[in-house]
Every structure is written in structure tokens, then in C-alpha cells.
Amino acid sequence: MSLRSIVPVLLVSLVLSFESAFAQLPVADMSVEELLDVQVTSVSRKAQRLARAPAAVYVITQEELRRSGVTSIAEALRLVPGMHVGRLNGGAWAISARGGAARYANKMLVMVDGRSVYSTFYGGVFWEYLDLLMEDIDRIEVIRGPGGVMWGANAVNGVVNVITRSARQTVGNLISVTGGNQEHGVVAVRHGARFKSGAYRVWGKSSERTLFGGTDAVYRQDYSMASVQMSRTRVNPPDGSGFTMHGGFRVDWDRHERDQFSLSGDVYGGAWRNSMAAVQPFPPYGVLGTVEDRPAGGNVLGRWTRTAASGGETSAQVYFDRFQGQFPYSYDSTVFNLDLQQARPLNESNELMWSFNFRQSRAALRPAFGAQSARPVRSDPLFSGVLQHDLELTPNRWYLSLGARLEHNNFTGFEFQPSIRVLHTPSRKDSYWAAWSRAVRTPTMAEHNITYNGFAGVAQGLPVVYGATANEAFRSEKLYAHEGGYRHESKNWTASAALFYNRYTDVRSYLPSGFSVQYTPTPYVYGQTKVWNARNETIYGGEVWGAWSPLPKWKLMPSYSWLRRNAYELEGLNTLKRFLVSGEEPAHQVRFRSLLDLTSTWQLDTAFYYTSAFPMHKIAAHPRLDVRVSWRPTRKQEWSAGLFDATEGPALEGPPEGPALSGQMRRMWQLKWVYRF
Amino acid sequence: MLRTVVALTLVLLLVAWIAPVVGSAYVSGPEDEVMSALILGFVRYAEWPPGASPTDPSASIAVCANGRPSLVRALTRTFAGKSISGRQLVAREVKTAAEAALCQVLFVSSDNQRQLTELLGAVQQIPVLTIGDSEAIFAAGGIVQFFEEDGKMRFAVHLDALARSRVSVSARLLRLGQVVKGKLR
């Protein structure tokens, strides 16, 4: 059981008394048909309870993962209502909830079994190295909205919690082979077995991916507004292709039935080619090049959980993580992290949870492409403590949750992140919730340390190059979030809705600090800017989603989300703003999925997505259709064929960020074979 | 570094402080509850050949388990206050082949391979509905396997092993599970 993953449960433990999990389910009186429909793993029990949390929660189950045909965690997030997932190239994605989608989307925290994979050096997630064995993932819990109390800094716009199966649930051998025009070859193997008091598994996965469209159109789009002639060299091999190799293990065992232990780890490495534009102040202004990144990393995590008969739980978790990469800059990071947590019911209607976290991270950075770093090596300790009180105000009707986290980090000192959540359940089928929270996004190492140049366009016939200067006085960005939601659960349908109004203060801006005209090698304007907390902005919107089974063998899942960002301040710097504003998001997203069992062995799954335009980045609206057919002749094997993005030709899915360019998505097909023995 | 050491020491002290506070008894998981209820379903839909029970028809139906104490506890709870055609249901933990031979239903956890082979061998010739929690049950000559798929409990029945045991299970129940055929041990 993951320390971070039990947190949402604690968050909803106020719901416990009327749910009381399994104990009150009249299992003994159910028919066999009903029994076969009961979620049995304790984790799914959590997933069930999560569905009643006072937050906008969506849980991707293993069944949904399998039926989506996706081969990576990043792609799986397309299943989440309101989440924007734009594939930029073979191994890079722009992913965010509630605004700010960019390659280095810095307001989404992502965890794997309680281990953070958010890079505090860049702010963002390297999705390409998050290449787990999909069949061993139990579920992905996604919370849209802040989770600062539970998960700490940078859980601002959302939290993604990937939870892998216990080794007890993966006993047996598995081979999975995927091939296609972009997923050239994804091969995964796993061996799992029991031993006296537990079970283990070892696994390996190798993935080779590419992006078909090349970068030609991107390049044109990216710089067209300045109407500058750029060299339009096609990159060959295409941008963003490469491979990763991943191997790992997990052991779960218990002692005296009340102490659960888990030890897991993985190592990975690979090679990725990334296209990027290096800026120069004379024609053709940008030089397109390919950089090869040979990343390597590994981590090991140990956890102990003690379950008390009273319902309380105590856990301790330690992990160590190392990562080395070369793109866009060469860096090497090590993280040691320790979490302690205890949840204790005080009485029938009160529960108290506290936790403590300590993290020591060290990073060594070697900038390239004209960028400079003031402090290339730094070591940062971080401490935080959480206290949360969950109360049942009136039995089975009103619940209140009060929580706060106090954190101390090396960049900004103390950070306070409180949250108040209220849940009202007038009936077993309906629930209403509302929440107010404050969350922070702490500065990245890049914002404090890296100074780089960008190309802004042409003014008065002269090219304008800007320099973005790091600033050690840059503070955290703050979010004050106001959210509310409603949920209805019926026998064969559910519907949910959430509204949010997010006010951000001290948002990152690059303020001009001076202009000069340079004469070498050719005349150009050099604009010096510096990173500051200079803006406020608001993003508000809503999401509705649901599921309906018109027939037992057919499930339909529609969703719609809408959001709006206030007008950007900095209008005077219009030409600069694309470089200065982090990310952009589509205003409307529509999804419609259908999961149909044709026969007991054949399944047909389709998904339609519509993403509206990104006006600032001039990316057009994009409809997308995915179709998948699967055949399971026996319990042991499954054959499936998928056609993704079946509707359109080349299309961009998201904006580029930093020196890396984004490429086009093309129609993608794949075949997959899974064999268990 | 010093700060790290201090922090770690504090943490260890904290662990030492919490550890005794936490309660002891472990609650059976939902898996056990669902398995027990499924076993009850099997008992409802199964018929043992006449004369198979060592004692008279009013005697209790013994559901035995080996290697999974949490299941025995869940079975006891599930069976509380229930009877089938006037026969009491009894949940029992068994350890030896002699004890196993007195059961109508026998669940053997596959954690202990040697025990699995021994217990199943002992009941091969008598009408006992044997159940296991991994595929090893079929290799050992057992009849029913409980397994998890997508977080839900499923079962598979080995038809040839069922026929050999002379226990009959209603087709209505069999339709809900997967069917396995093939050579018997």
C-alpha cells in the first residue's frame, strides 16, 4: 500500500462511516452473479471510496487501461475527463489539468507508488522514462485540483497517482508484444511467484517509439508570426524517436498479518533523439538540430504499513532515486525521501491524520546551447509536516475535513498549504462537495539558476533576441482554489460535475530589464529579461462526466470540459508572450468512449476526442477517433488491433516549450499480443 | 549531512514511539469475504452423491480450509445463522489428510505445494469439492480455482475433475465461471 496512495483514502475517510468499506456490504447474501461483480482487492476498495471523495477524482482501472490499448502512462491520461494530453513527439507530451499544458507543465504532480516523478529541476515530468509494464498497473488515480495538503508542493492543478499491483496479484508469467507504425516494438515480460509469506515479481520492458510527421510544419508554425525566413530543414531521422529499456522488481510480504512490507525498484536507460532550435541573431535565426539524449536512472523504495483493528494505519516509506539525462541540458540528480504517516480514528466521528516528510535532493547541471548556470551544483533539504482532521458533523449527512501542510524548502523557506473540504450526502446516491485550498508551485532549479536566450521576432527590421535571466529572488507561485461538485450514482449510470475558480498570484513572468542594440556579427536587438513573480491570473471552468450501461455488456462514457483563462497582462509585450507564458490550454474538450463486449471473447472499444484550438500557439482544433478490437480466445491470451487518431492527417496536439520542438501526430496503428502462463 | 543524520534519528525515534500505539488484530480482506460467499454459493448449487457423507443427512456440511486462516474466519462469519436444507454449515481449519477426508468442501491455498499435493491426493477418490487459489489446484487434481481478474473474483471449474469427484454442480452456476477440460492427474 502506497503511503501517498492511502492519503486520498484518508481524505475521504470521512465518508467511511456510511461506506464502512466492505464490512457492511451484505456479501454473504449476494447472488453469485453479484459476487462476481464485487471489487475485491483492497486497493479497488480504495478506488471505490475515492469515487466519493470531496474532490474531482477520476480512477483509471486496469480494465480501462487494457481496453484503451495504450502503451504508456502519458497516453492513458487521455481517459481522464478534463485532462489535456498532447503528444509532442515520440516521447514527449504536454499534459495538464485545468490549464497550463506544456512539455514542462509545472503544476501537475505525478507519483508512482508514492515516489514523486516530478522533476524539481525543470518543473515537469519526463513522461518518456515513465515506461512501466501496463499490465502490472492496478489503477491510476487522478485528482484535478490542488492536493497540497496531501502531496505537498507542486500539486497545484492536479495529482496523478500511478499505483502498481501488489506482487500477490501478479503471480504467473506474462509476455506482451506490441508492434505498429509508431510504437515500433514494445516488448514486456514478467515473472511472478509466491513464497511462504508473500510474493515477488521481476519484469522488463523495452520500447522503441517514433513520431511520423517530422517537424517541418511545427517549425513553420512556431516562427511564422515573426514572418522570418527560417531554414526549413527536415529532420531525419524524425524528431523525438528512440528507445528505452526498463527493468524492475517488487516484493510484498507480511508478518503476523498486520504488518505489510513492500520493496520495489527499477532501472532504466535509453536513447532519444530530440529536435531543437538553437537561436542566433542573424538569418536564418534558428538552427534546427538533433540532440541525442542518453538518459539513465534507477530507484529503490521500501515501505512498511501496519493496519490496526481499530481502522488506524501507520506507514513508513523510504526511497532513493537517481536520474541522469542530457536533454535539454546535461544533469544528474539524486533524491532521498522519507515519509511517515499515521491515521487514527479518535472516535466514531473523528479521525486524525499526521504525516512527516523529509527529502534531500542533489542536482548537478551543465547547461548547453548558450545557456548559463550560476550555481551548477546544489543540494537542497526539504521538511514538511501535515495535520488533518476529518469530522462527521451529522451522521451520514455532513462531513468536514480540515488539513494543512507546513513545508520548509531551500528556495523559498516556509510554505503553508491549508485546505477545507465539505461533503454533503443527502442520500446514498447523491453527494455534493465544496472545497477551498491554497497550493504552491515552488521555483525550479532552472528558474533560480539558468539563463538562456530566445528568439522573439523582428522589430523595425531588426531581429530581436531576448535573454531570460535566472533570479534567486523568484518565489513560489500561489493558487487559491475554489471548487465544488456533485455526484450521482445509480444502478447502471453515474454522473459527476465539478466547477472551479482558480486564482493564481505571483505567477512567473519575464520582465524586461533593458534593451540594447548589438552590432556583431550583424545588428540585432537584445532584450534582457528577468524572471519575476509579476502577474496574477485566473482560470475557471467546469467538467461533466459520466458512465452509462444501457446493456450489461455495453458501457458508454461521455465527458465535456470547458475552461477560460483571463486576459494576459503584459499586453505590451505581445510578441514575447508566447515565450513568456507557460503553456496554453484548449477551451473545450469533448470525449466519448464506448466499451462493448460483442461476444464473450470479442470486444470493440471506440473513443472520440475533440480538442478545441490553441489560439496563442495557432494550433487548430483537432478531432480524434480511436478504435480497438480485441479477441480473447482463452483466459491466457489476448490479441488486439488498434487504430489511433483514425480521423485526420498530421495534426499538432500541443504547444512546444523550451528549446525542444513539437511534432505532428499521424494516424497510428498497432497490434498487440498478451500471453499469460 | 549532519542535518540528514539528525532528521533520520528523529524519524527513527518517532517510529519507535508510534509502533506500540498501533492496534494488533488484522481484519480479513474483502477477498476472503467474497471467497466465503462464493463457497456458500457453491454449497447451495452442489449435490453430493447419496451415501457420500460419512454420517446421516441431518449432519452438518463441513467446509474446510488449509493454509489460509483468514478464510476460515470469514467462512465462520458468512455461515453464521445459515443452513442448507436443514443441514448446518461448519467452517473448519484442517491440517492433515485424515481431517480433509471428512470435509464436503476443501479449500487449499497453493502457497504450500507439498501440502496441496498431499491433501488433494487424500480426497481424490471421495466426493469432496476441492477449491484452490491458483492454477496449481488443477495440476494437483482439484476442481475449482478462484482467481482475480480486473480486481474482481472469478472462478474456473475443471469439468473432468468435477465428474470424477461425483459431486454435481448446477449448470446455472457453471455458466458463470470459466470451464477447464483436459487430462487429470
Q: Please provide the DSSP assignment of A152-203 as one string.
A: -TT-SSEEEEEEEPPGGGG-EEEEEEEEESSEEEEEEEEEEEEETTEEEEEE
C-alpha cell at B162: 468435477
Beta bridge partners of A344: A352
Per residue in B14-39, pLDDT (tens digit) is 444 443 333 322 334 578 888 999 99
**Cα atoms in the Cβ-side hemisphere of radius 13 Å centred on A414:** 5
Instruction: Output phi, psi for A181, to 5 deg.
Output: -80, -25
Q: CA A206 to CA A617: how far, in whole Å?
A: 34
In whole numbers, what is the pLDDT of chain A averaged over residues? 80
In a domain, B124, yes or no: yes
CATH of A3-676, one of 2.40.110.10, 3.30.420.40, 2.40.170.20, 3.90.480.20: 2.40.170.20
**C-alpha angle B81/B87/B89, rounded to 5°?**
50
Min Cα distance B93 → chain A (Å) is: 17
Per residue in A222-271, pLDDT (tens digit) is 443 333 333 333 344 445 677 889 999 999 998 876 788 999 999 999 88
Residue appearing with cell numbers 506544456: A102
Nearest to B31 among A40, A61, A257 (CB): A40
Domain housing B46: 28-180
According to the model, what pLDDT value does residue B20 have? 34
- CB pairs A-B closer than 8 Å: 130
pLDDT reading at B1 higher than 80: no
Contact B48, B169 (CB under 8 A): no
Domain containing B119 — which CATH number?
Answer: 3.40.50.2300
In a domain, B10, yes or no: no
Sign, CA torsion B157/B159/B163/B169: positive
> Going by C-beta distance under 8 Å and a sequence separation of 6 or more, which residues neighbour residue A355?
A3, A7, A339, A340, A341, A342, A385, A386
Residue that wins the pLDDT comparison between A398 and B10: A398
C-alpha cell at A576: 514575447
Q: Cβ–Cβ contacts within 10 Å for residue A605, how many?
A: 22
Give the percent of chain A with pLDDT over 70. Answer: 80
Q: CA A665 to CA A651: how far, in whole Å?
A: 5
Min Cα distance B182 → chain A (Å) is: 14
Instruction: Give B-chain residues touching A196 at CB under 8 angstroms.
Output: 111-112
Q: CA A27 to CA A29: how far, in whole Å?
A: 5
Beta bridge partners of A163: A139
Cα nearest neighbour of B110 on chain A: A194
Instruction: Give A-chain residues touching B1 at CB under 8 angstroms.
Output: none
Contact A625, A607 (CB under 8 A): yes
Would you call B176 and A33 a contact, using CB atoms and an 8 Å cutoff? Answer: yes
3-state DSSP of B89-140? EEEEECCCHHHHCCCCEEEECCCCHHHHHHHHHHCCCCCCEEEECCCHHHHC
In a domain, B14, yes or no: no
According to the model, what pLDDT value does residue B11 have? 52
Would you call A358 and B7 a contact, using CB atoms and an 8 Å cutoff? Answer: yes
Cα nearest neighbour of A339 on chain B: B11
Q: CA A573 to CA B52: how far, in whole Å?
A: 90
CA A444 to chain centre: 17
In a domain, B4, yes or no: no
A54 upstream amide cis, omega within 30 of 0? no
Would you call A340 and B11 a contact, using CB atoms and an 8 Å cutoff? Answer: yes
Stretch A49-77: mean pLDDT, rounded? 84
**If pLDDT is split at 50, 70 and 90, which confidence band does A659 have?**
low
Which of A102-116, A157-171, A201-215, A432-446 has the lowest average pLDDT? A201-215
pLDDT reading at A85 higher than 50: yes
Would you call B82 and A31 a contact, using CB atoms and an 8 Å cutoff? Answer: no
Calculate the alpha carbon distances from A642 to A206, A639, B77 in Å. Answer: 20, 10, 47
Min Cα distance A341 → chain B (Å) is: 10
DSSP A6: H
According to the model, what pLDDT value does residue A544 have? 96
According to the model, what pLDDT value does residue A576 have? 52
Would you call A312 and B23 a contact, using CB atoms and an 8 Å cutoff? Answer: yes
Per residue in A344-360, pLDDT (tens digit) is 888 878 888 899 999 99
C-alpha cell at A612: 478545441
Which of A485-489, A551-555, B28-32 has the lowest average pLDDT? B28-32
C-alpha cell at A452: 538562456
Nearest to B22 among A61, A171, A308 (CB): A308
Nearest to B15 among A23, A313, A316 (CB): A316
Nearest to B111 among A43, A196, A308 (CB): A196
Say if residue B109 is exposed, middle or buried (CB neighbours under 10 Å; 0-12, 13-18, 19+).
Answer: buried
**If pLDDT is split at 50, 70 and 90, which confidence band does A11 have?**
very low
pLDDT reading at B111 higher than 70: yes
Calculate the alpha carbon distances from A290 to A89, A241, A332, B120 in Å. Answer: 13, 11, 21, 64
Contact B156, B145 (CB under 8 A): yes
> Going by C-beta distance under 8 Å and a sequence separation of 6 or more, which residues neighbour residue B167?
B46, B47, B48, B49, B127, B128, B129, B143
Instruction: Give A-chain residues touching B7 at CB under 8 angstroms.
Output: 338, 358, 381, 383
Nearest to B30 among A42, A62, A312 (CB): A42
Min Cα distance B157 → chain A (Å) is: 13
pLDDT reading at A22 higher than 80: no
Instruction: Give B-chain residues touching A381 at CB under 8 angstroms.
Output: 3-4, 7
According to the model, what pLDDT value does residue A115 have? 93
Residue of A30, A32, A603 to mutate, interface with B, max B Cβ within 10 Å = A32
A133: closest CA among A299, A2, A251, A245? Answer: A245
Per residue in A266-316, pLDDT (tens digit) is 999 988 777 666 666 666 666 666 677 788 999 999 999 887 777 778 999
Q: What is the DSSP string of A475-503?
A: --EEEEEEEEEEEEE-SSEEEEEEEEEEE
In a domain, B114, yes or no: yes
DSSP A108: E
Instruction: Give A-chain residues touching B135 at CB under 8 angstroms.
Output: 172
Would you call A336 and B4 a contact, using CB atoms and an 8 Å cutoff? Answer: yes
Instruction: Give B-chain residues touching A28 at CB under 8 angstroms.
Output: 33, 36-37, 40, 77-78, 82
Say if residue B5 is exposed, middle or buried (CB neighbours under 10 Å; 0-12, 13-18, 19+).
Answer: exposed
Give the percent of chain B with pLDDT over 70. Answer: 77
Q: CA A127 to CA A92: how far, in whole Å?
A: 6
Instruction: Give A-chain residues touching B110 at CB under 8 angstroms.
Output: 194
Q: What is the DSSP string of A380-405?
A: EEEEEEEEEEEEEEETTTEEEEEEEE
C-alpha cell at A182: 509508431
pLDDT reading at A508 higher than 60: yes
Residue of B1, B152, B155, B179 to mutate, interface with A, max A Cβ within 10 Å = B152
C-alpha cell at B153: 473474483
Would you call B111 and A194 a contact, using CB atoms and an 8 Å cutoff? Answer: yes
DSSP A576: G
Contact A646, A667 (CB under 8 A): yes
Would you call A35 and B37 a contact, using CB atoms and an 8 Å cutoff? Answer: yes
Q: Cβ–Cβ contacts within 10 Å for residue A129, how many?
A: 19
According to the model, what pLDDT value does residue B70 have? 83
Instruction: Give B-chain residues touching A306 at CB under 8 angstroms.
Output: 19, 22
In a domain, B170, yes or no: yes
3-state DSSP of A120-149? CCCCCECHHHCCCCHHHEEEEEEEECCCHH
Would you call A40 and B34 a contact, using CB atoms and an 8 Å cutoff? Answer: yes
Cα nearest neighbour of A359 on chain B: B4
Query: Where do the domains of chain A lie?
Result: 3-676
Would you call A316 and B40 a contact, using CB atoms and an 8 Å cutoff? Answer: no
In a domain, B97, yes or no: yes
Would you call B41 and A360 a contact, using CB atoms and an 8 Å cutoff? Answer: no
Would you call A340 and B7 a contact, using CB atoms and an 8 Å cutoff? Answer: no
**If pLDDT is split at 50, 70 and 90, which confidence band does A129 have?**
confident
Would you call B34 and A314 a contact, using CB atoms and an 8 Å cutoff? Answer: no
> Going by C-beta distance under 8 Å and a sequence separation of 6 or more, which residues neighbour residue A452?
A367, A369, A370, A371, A372, A467, A468, A659
> Residue type for A198, please?
G
Instruction: Give B-chain residues touching A61 at CB under 8 angstroms.
Output: 150-151
Instruction: Output phi, psi for A407, to 5 deg.
Output: -125, 145
Nearest to A27 among B7, B34, B152 (CB): B34
In a domain, B17, yes or no: no
Residue of A3, A20, A24, A27 to mutate, interface with B, max B Cβ within 10 Å = A27
> Going by C-beta distance under 8 Å and a sequence separation of 6 or more, which residues neighbour residue B166?
B48, B49, B52, B127
Would you call A28 and B40 a contact, using CB atoms and an 8 Å cutoff? Answer: yes
A526: closest CA among A282, A303, A319, A298? Answer: A282
Instruction: Give A-chain residues touching B23 at CB under 8 angstroms.
Output: 258, 308-310, 312
According to the model, what pLDDT value does residue A572 have? 46
Residue appearing with cell numbers 539528525: B6
Would you call A381 and B4 a contact, using CB atoms and an 8 Å cutoff? Answer: yes
